[in-house]
A and B are shown apart, each in its own frame.
Chain A
Amino acid sequence: MLYSRPQISLLLLVGVALLGGLVVREWRAGFPEAAARLEAFDRDEAPTAPGPVPVASPRPSRPPPSPLTRPEPDQRPGSTARPEPVADPRPLDLNTATAEQIARLPGVGPGLARRIVEERQRRGRFDGPEGLRSVLGVGPRKLAALRDLVTATP
């Protein structure tokens, strides 16, 4: 006999491992989206999926807080920097839209639209798309999808 039984077992194990690795690699290359979803199953935030990443819109974004200084309130960008709607169709104004209009947004049903309008009545008006986060049913993923489609005029 060329090999002993334990040696054959080891070689078998190595072979199985290599084959397994090959299968996984092919599967990951063939179904990148499924692999990305699997990879992110326990993450809170939306995965940075391979594919078209929404380019930063001209939304006024606060500068990231510098490590040593917290921006004092008066240094924050005020309401003078208004988002300039560039994309057509124009973003929907959360503060004037009806529940029916809101319900036409992708991923928003009549129930959620009603809750958004209720939230608007409760707080008077939205200051920006981020306000949607306090509505039940709008998570980080939904907000990211809606952010460029809506606006909020004071």
Chain B
Amino acid sequence: MPSSTLAAIPPVLRAPLVPLALAWGAGIAAGTTLAPPPRGLITAGALLLSGAALALLRGRDRIAAALVLSAIAVLGALRTHELPPPRDDVAAAPVDGPVSVEARLVEEPRRWAPDRARVLLDVEAIVADAERRPASGRVLVTIYGEAPPLGEGQRIAAELRLHPPVGFRNPGGFDYPAQLRREGIALVGSGRGDRIRPLTADAPPWPARVKRWAVARLNAELPEASAALLAGLLLGERAALPRETDDAFRRAGAYHVLAVSGFNVALVAASVFAVLTLVGASRATTAVVAAVALGGFALVVGAQSSVIRATLMGLILLAGIVLERESQLPNALGLSGLALLAWRPGDLWDPGFQLSFAATAGIVYLGTPARAALEWLRWPRGLASAVGVSAAAQGAVLPIMAAHFNQLSLIGPVANLVVVPLAGAATTVGLFALAAAALGDLVGSLGLNLAWALAVLLRLAVWLAAAVPWALVHIPAPGPLAMAAWLLAGVLAATVAARWARAVALLVSAAGAGIALWPLVAPDDGRLRVTFLDVGQGDAILVEVPDGPRLLVDGGPGGGARFDVGERVVAPFLWNRGIGRLDVIAATHADADHSGGLAAVLRGLRVGEVWENGRWGVGHEDTVAALERSGAARRVLAAGQRLRLGEATVTVLSPPGVDDAAAPLAGENDHSLVLRLDWRGIALLLTGDLTARGEERLLVGRAPLAATVLKVGHHGSRGSTGAAFVDASQPRIAVVSVGARNPFRHPAPEVLDRLAVAGACLYRTDRDGAVIVETDGVRLWVTRWASRRRDELPVAPDDQAR
């Protein structure tokens, strides 16, 4: 093809693999969301292909190309069709209770707390009644307590409790079961470390051994936090990173350096190149050695999609050097996308995949225009190039960061100008030091010390950037419509060079931004809304008073070695509702299932006031520290206080101000804040973990207990919600906030019976997911989020009777 015609084709079309990858990806997206019947797909594919053949014969090349691409999309959709699991799959007949299995570890265990590790197992057999039955299927299991040393590839016999995965079912929540399904994981569960018996020795394959050795070497030479940071930079192993450092990297918009990506791969390749070229090796030899180094590096750090993407692209570019052919970045990007999605179609929804491809595409397509724009603004050349590339990558990942993490880093483009070079230096020095350490101790030790100094500098830079006010803002996750608008704008800007196309792309992306930010400015509907969040075993309740204040009662379980529901569930829910500021947080009591998650909420949102019972015991230092740092005003509440919350009134019923000697409070639960909220004749009674003893005191003290909506005390425990209390309360709606399969056997059947007999409509978060109660003062609507069912009931069915 003569060069003059080549120049006339827009750049994206000169990379024929890019449209192919886009079509394939679109097919996968449609296949997973719409789940079309495979027969229809096969028919459609056959029709499209024969149409394409016909068009080709008629000489209509453009139409033929379009039809072929559509057929590729149909094939992508077919690729996502899941065959029914084999008959011996563990998920086919789930067992309630412990089950003995023999299984093989798919990957190295992930230790996320001193006594907890997560292992991915390929089940090989189920042992029941001394009979060994072959089985298959993949399960993700948390191992508690002391376990024998475990490693990739090892076979074990274990006693596990397995069940289908259940996520936290809240509006805007993350669909955990769907993610596991995409990874081919059918069941999740737990097991005790001392019930695991190794069948083979812990002898992982060499990449895992290299990684273990490298992490051990870092820890032997360097203090904990810096060793963890370097393990993240060099190997993507960030499990041991202290929370503060992790937070700072997120706030600074620099978290990407902690994931192994094209950045590390490019450094490895460039280092090999620099050294070998200077030693005088030939170009081809250098390329082959670099390719081997890249492959080895990828095997060691593991098969995350960002690593595979970067390695494939690197290998393609190196192959170009060996074959003395010019290779194109867009084509390499397209090919790696195609290969990755053909192998693991589910990766399309993986944040790592999306971030990696979006950032690279941003640099490839938007880097040059961004640099040109900055140079036109008379920026110095070097700076324009650095800022242009950084801004292009950041701009491209912005919607993805917002969609998965609700994050919009405002400091990122600036911070990365310092962070990326520092991280690059630390990574290069660290990798060379590890390579040297394998040969001799001294040089390795010197290199690691230098890497430590660089790591501390890096942490300092990140810490300074993170300390800037408004460094990070949280926004609602943009919906599919906004994402589609942005994707369209990006494709339009990259494919059509004409002026009008840029204008349209700009308009479309602005419209996308408008749609995405709508929840922040949406008008109030004048209803009182109470959301009992699905937080597992614990409480978190959001009260939204019309035209105003928002009150969060408890923040779900979290803190310490637990899964932090405050960070993963409660804060994202609030951000997705467009809530960046809570007027009040009420912490009913200090127990971890109520206040554990509050630390993360206090860190992630602005908080006006915190209402508490003033009893923070041992083990809640983290929450108290977050409380102090947040700058929220603290109020210790006692019975008899009345507080205004916009149009609503909050009355404090418990704890009593002075310890009553006649009826001393039994435990922390009886010190729970008990709050009553009144709005237009609707009463909401929130009892925390109050026990029957505390209830008795309320009854004796003739506290106003009659309620429209009752949060059933202590997750429906047997020791709460006594008959007299139910009589006095007569709730129309009773909500139990409780986790499925909790070890306390909450809620107690007799409590549920008592409430049902009293005429209450029962809802429970373990079955219904989030329970959303809305009222305009006349009617009540209750939404069960798990089934999306909405019940409507009048406030008082028996007006005359009362």
Q: How many residues of B contact A (CB 8 A)?
A: 60
Q: Which chain A residues lie closer than 8 Å to B449 at the CB level?
A: 21-22, 24-25, 28
Which of A70-78, A80-88, A93-101, A107-115 lines the interface with chain B? A70-78
Question: Inside 8 A of A128's CB, which chain B residues have their CB?
Answer: 617-618
- Determine whether the beta carbon of B668 is less than 8 Å from that of A73: yes
Min C-beta distance of A86 to chain B, whole Å:
20
A-contacting residues, B616-634, CB 8 Å: 616-619, 621-622, 624-625, 628, 634
List, in ascending order, chain A residues with CB within 8 A of B560's CB.
65
- Considering the chains assembled together, what is the distance between the CA atoms of A40 and B463 in angstroms? 12
* A24:B743 contact, CB within 8 angstroms: no
Interface membership of A104, Cβ < 8 A: no
Is B225 part of the contact surface with A, judged by Cβ < 8 Å? yes
Residues of B412-446 at the interface with A, using a CB-CB cut-off of 8 Å, are 429, 432-433, 443, 445-446
Cross-chain contact B275 with A10 (CB below 8 angstroms): yes
CA gap between A4 and B616 in the complex, in Å: 68
Q: Which residue on B lies nearest to A144, using beta carbons? A: B621
- Given A68-B743, A123-B614, A140-B625, A73 contacting B669 (CB threshold 8 A): yes
Chain B residues with Cβ under 8 A from A58's Cβ? none
* Cα distance A24–B248 in the bound complex, in angstroms: 25
Q: Is the CB of A42 within 8 A of B658?
A: no
Cβ-defined contact, A122 with B447, below 8 A:
no
Interface string of B596-638 (1 = CB under 8 A from A): 0000000000000000001111110110110010000010100
Q: Chain A residues with Cβ under 8 A from B624's Cβ? A: 133-134
Report whether over half of chain A's contact residues are helix, strand or loop; otherwise say mixed. helix
Residues on B with C-beta less than 8 A from A35 are 223
Residues of B within 8 A of A41 (CB): 459-460, 463
Asked whether, in the complex, the Cβ of B450 is within 8 Å of the Cβ of A24, the reply is yes
- Complex CA gap A24/B429 in Å reads 14
Contacting residues, chain A, for B691 (C-beta < 8 A): 73
Q: Please, what's the 1-or-0 string for B275-296, where 1 marks a CB less than 8 Å from any CB in chain A?
A: 1011000000000000000000
User: Is B379 interfacial (CB-CB < 8 Å)?
Assistant: no
The CA-CA distance from A41 to B245 in the complex, in Å, is 10
| Cα distance A18–B614 in the bound complex, in angstroms | 55
**Contact B667 A18, beta carbon cutoff 8 Å:** no
Q: How many A-B residue pairs have CB under 8 A?
A: 117
**A72 CB to nearest chain B CB (Å):** 7
Choice from A36, A67, A76, A136 contacting B145 with Cβ under 8 Å: A67
What residues of A have a CB within 8 angstroms of the CB of B115 in the complex?
A: 67
Determine whether the beta carbon of A22 is less than 8 Å from that of B446: yes
Whether the Cβ atoms of B636 and A21 lie closer than 8 Å is: no
Q: Cβ of B616 and Cβ of A130 under 8 Å apart? A: yes
B614 near A39: Cβ-Cβ < 8 Å:
no
A124 to chain B, nearest CB (A): 7
Pair B592/A130 contact, Cβ less than 8 Å: no
Asked whether B244 lies within 8 Å of A39 as measured between CB atoms, the reply is no
**Cβ of A20 and Cβ of B625 under 8 Å apart?**
no
Q: Tell me whether A145 is interfacial, beta carbon within 8 Å.
A: no
Q: How far is the CA of A9 from the CA of B363 in the complex (A)?
A: 30
- How near does chain B come to A56, taking the closest CB pair, in angstroms? 13
Partner of B447, one of A21, A42, A133, A140: A21
* Contact across chains for A21 and B743 when beta carbons are under 8 A apart: no
Q: Whole-angstrom distance from the CB of B57 to the nearest CB of chain A?
A: 58
Interchain Cβ contacts under 8 Å between A and B, 16 examples: A21-B445, A22-B449, A25-B445, A39-B225, A39-B226, A41-B459, A69-B743, A70-B537, A70-B592, A73-B666, A74-B666, A128-B618, A130-B617, A134-B624, A134-B634, A139-B628
Using a CB–CB cutoff of 8 Å, the interface residues on chain A facing chain B are 4, 6-7, 10, 17-18, 20-22, 24-25, 28, 35-36, 38-44, 61-62, 65, 67-70, 72-74, 76, 122-124, 127-128, 130-131, 133-134, 136, 139-140, 143
